[in-house]
Amino acid sequence: MKRSLKAILIITLVVLADQLLKTWIKNNMYIGQEFNIIGNWFIIHFTENNGMAFGMEFAGEYGKLFLTLFRIAAVAGIGYGIHYVIKHRYPFGLVIAASLIFAGALGNIIDSVFYGVIYGYSTLLHGRVVDMFYFPVVQGHFPSWFPLWGDQEFVFFRPVFNIADAAISTGVAMILVFQKKYFRVMEKPPIEEDDTQSEVVEA
């Protein structure tokens, strides 16, 4: 299978899984509802956010609009990047990482662009991103002598996220860990994937 088709397959599977789960959550749960999957540390918790990954907010309505437009521009740039690394035969791990980042960004863009209109609570480009995965693996309280957060509740991992966020984080982590391998200096000129060399036959 060609690298480009593999990249498309990765993107399609991630976006499809992300949107199917979000749609199920939206149609079967109410905001704040949760149920335990594994003990008290793997929980499905339905929440929505107006901002960035893992529930972070960004400067109100105008910030939301800017963020949505920025995501669209970023996805276009990442899409070109995927085309570039495939064309120039970079390691396939980089193609996978870029495809995961692209798919995650696209999954959250769909929420931001369309969910407000589809579910009737806002206008185009002002939808809220659906999150559901919550992993409060470690819970407790900071000691009273601890600076700034003394006696306050401590939860790790607190942010609620979705499949798209996980895909972005995985792709970024792959690039950080394997950057020397992915971006090594090419010893030979790049070879386009679908190029064929024609032979000139002289009579």
Which pair of tokens denotes residue 79?
């899409």
Please give the pLDDT value at position 200.
Answer: 44
* Predicted confidence (pLDDT) per residue in 86-143, tens digit: 999 999 999 999 999 999 999 999 999 999 999 999 999 989 999 999 998 887 777 8
**Residue of 10, 173, 175, 21 lying closest to 110 (CA atoms):** 21
pLDDT interval class at 144 (50, 70, 90): confident
Q: pTM of the full predicted structure?
A: 0.82
Write the Ramachandran bin of 197: left for phi over 0, alpha for psi from -120 to 50, otherwise beta: beta
Contact indicator for 181, 93 with CB cutoff of 8 Å: yes
Place of tokens 């090594």: 184
Catalytic residue positions, numbered: 131, 165
What are the pLDDT digits (tens) for 156-191?
788 999 999 999 999 999 999 999 999 875 545 455
The Cβ-side half-sphere exposure at 177, using a 13 Å CA radius, reads 8
Summarised one tens digit per residue, pLDDT across range 33-82 is 999 999 888 999 999 987 655 555 555 667 777 888 888 999 999 999 99
Looking at this protein, which amino acid is placed at residue 62? Answer: Y
